[in-house]
Amino acid sequence: MSKKNKIQDSFLEELKKIPIIQVACERVGISRNSIYRWKRDDKDFSKLMDKALAEGEELVNDMSESQLLTLIKEKNFSAIRFWLNHRSPKFKDKVEVTTKVDINDEELTQEQQDVVHKALSLASIITNVSDKQDEKTNS
């Protein structure tokens, strides 16, 4: 095994523990420039790096959830609210759109359409208001 391969393996192992490229580089003693050059030039290393980052992020997510549950058990209101807002449909943030509409008008005005698109975008139902408007003009 070459010195480069050993360094790459050590880097990937560090990345699995803490998914921060700078920290993994410092622990292994390699520059970020080298890592990004390897990632750009070596498709296999790039895939392994992406996989190591994902594995590290999952580890941090698990640790974070564990800490969150500890705070919930300690009756920490912020932790309780965070959990409910993100885990329970009943407590999720909601978007309410109200506008005055003349019931005799069947079509929405441009302003009303903009409001609806903005609301849908905020609710993550559509990705971007301008994307939807572009789709409409292209049809």
- What does the pLDDT read at residue 129? 46
- Asked if pLDDT for residue 139 goes beyond 60, the answer is no
Percent share of the chain, pLDDT over 90: 54
The domain spans of the chain are 3-90, 94-139
**Amino acid of residue 30:** I
The Cα 36–Cα 7 span in angstroms is 14
Contact in structure between 27 and 34 (CB atoms under 8 Å): no
Q: Specify the range with the lowest mean pLDDT, choosing from 40-44, 77-81, 83-87.
A: 83-87
3-class DSSP state of 135: helix
pLDDT digits (tens, 9 = 90+) for 4-61: 899 999 999 999 999 999 999 999 999 999 999 999 999 999 999 999 999 999 999 9
**CA distances (Å), origin 51, targets 42, 58, 64:** 14, 11, 20
CA-atom Rg of the chain in angstroms: 24
